[in-house]
Amino acid sequence: MIEKDKSMRLIKKTTSLFRSKVKNQIARSQWNDITSLCVAGSLLLLAACDTVDPKQIGAVDSVDGPLGGVASDEPRATLIAQDILSSGGTAADAATALYFTLAVTYPIAGSLGGGGECITYNRESNKLENLKFPVGLAKAGGEIGVPGNIRGFSALHARHGRMSWSSVLAPAEKLANFGESMSRAQHAAMVSSSSKVQFDAGLSKLYLNEDGSLKKEGTKIQQVRLSSILSNLRTNGGAFFYGGTMAKAFIDDANFVGGKLTTTDLIYYRPAWQDAATFTNGVITIGTSVGPQGALYQEVWQKIYSGKGVLHLNQDINLTKLAEASASSFQKYANYNPFGAGGMTSFVTADNEGNAVSCLVGLGKPFGSGKTGDISGIVMASALGDKEAEFPTAPVVMVNLVNKDLYFAGAATGGIAGTLSSVYTALKIFGEDQPLETAISAPRVFTMGQGLPLLYEPKVMPDDLTTIVKQHPVAIEVERLGKVNSVYCKNGKLNQCQSRADPRGYGLSLIQR
């Protein structure tokens, strides 16, 4: 049964911009004051589009019927994305607005200084594509990397967006300028990684009390310098950051704290579009990252699932299979940290036309370099090697290309264990025909090879653990293994889409039917 969440009722009573239809909302308990989460009034002034009634575009909740879904690690970002969808925006519009909101509300991983990649599905072109925009390396070296996120999401919006660029950036700019209450998601991420982060003066001012302790959840965080950057981006476009006065300001900031960036490094930075790496399972085509992370996803999938076909006979995707696939596939990564440090975040969006975007962005480690620009207010990424940075997972989108039906979009964080968790969630759905909520909540196990410790979550049943430890005798209980965000449309039907943020975190998922 679909119920209106109390918090959404509160917003509707106090904020005229929200006239919300009934929505499913899945999340851990958040905060008391969420009335400041509403979208800026500038969302009401958007560009027209041939495929959607211009009168609807920009009017929150003007779109009737299913919207698709949204799930992310940070609640405010999810709320903004949901309103973009309900205003007539595409999955790419929602993903762009969601990302720039993360840059304000979840800078521990989502800062403008970071990079990442997305898998996209566009129903009109019927293509699965991989957009890569990693943190770049300056030719002269140095400690600070070249930001990729701004170029990346500019490219995503330019190719698949419908709403105006200014309208999808306006909410993030407003949050930065007027301030927002720190969410439980951001606070919890800082608590878990505080021993790994060295806060510079800028970060200390934002997130630390005078005695050096972390500010509490719910503390108002205002970022006027970052708001100025977002205002310039909203007005002039994403490319503006990589040339002229904005580029010079960021270069000055970066080089003051150990970078060796030049104008050439920024001007010639480009994101890369390419066809997604794909493999099939029955009638479903699974699109994932081009490169080792995507290949690893496919390897783990095919070791667990024998390939009878997503729409054919169900199989038991049990923890023993998960442990054996883990031991076999991850042996070669035994020198890596199996856990995520908190320096990456994932999100997924899908719209009412069957388009989808699944993304992973990050700084390599929590707060990246731990340094912010005195001019720009941007948290900067370090120039890290593969083994120094948090191991990235591969975002995925699954579709029936023959019928142009969207089935699944998922992305995860949590280091190498995040890859296994992402595969396991999808296979609990497609292999066992489990609902998304059951699949994403199922307890997980992980090991990086025979003879190495087996890591398991608290809810693993004793009988299952007894069976697994026969092959992996050293077992260690851990709080969580991976954190997944996903959208699942049962039978490829948009009116049967569900979205879920992993209950292991403090994210939020929303959907409207």
Q: What is the pLDDT of residue 385?
A: 73
* 69 residue type, one letter: G
In the block, residue with structure tokens 């697994």: 468
What does the pLDDT read at residue 389? 80
Q: Which phi and psi (to 5°) does residue 398 adopt?
A: -120, 125
C-alpha distance from residue 388 to each of 145, 245, 337, 343, 430 (Å): 14, 32, 9, 12, 35
Report which of 337, 351, 493 is spatially closest to residue 416, judged by C-alpha positions: 337
pLDDT of residue 33: 39
C-alpha count within 13 angstroms, C-beta hemisphere, residue 197: 34
Distance CA 370, CA 383 (A): 12
Length of the chain: 513
Q: Is 440 in contact with 502 (CB distance < 8 Å)?
A: yes
According to the model, what pLDDT value does residue 60 have? Answer: 61
Which pLDDT score is estimated for 379? Answer: 96
One-letter amino acid for residue 508 of the chain: L
Radius of gyration of the chain (CA): 21
pLDDT in tens, the chain (513 residues): 333 333 333 333 333 333 334 344 544 433 333 333 333 333 333 333 334 555 456 566 556 667 789 999 999 999 999 999 999 999 999 999 999 999 999 999 999 999 999 999 999 999 999 999 999 999 999 999 999 999 999 999 999 999 999 999 999 999 999 999 999 999 999 998 888 788 899 999 999 999 999 999 999 999 999 999 999 999 999 999 999 899 999 999 999 999 999 999 999 999 999 999 999 988 999 999 999 999 999 999 999 986 554 444 567 899 999 999 999 999 888 777 767 778 999 999 999 999 999 999 999 999 999 999 999 999 999 988 766 788 889 999 999 999 999 999 999 999 889 999 999 999 999 999 999 999 999 999 999 988 889 999 999 999 999 999 999 999 999 999 999 999 999 999 988 899 999 999 999 998 665
- Identify which of 184, 160, 182, 157 has the alpha carbon closest to the alpha carbon of residue 100: 157
pTM of the model: 0.88
Helix (H, G, I), strand (E, B) or coil at 304: helix
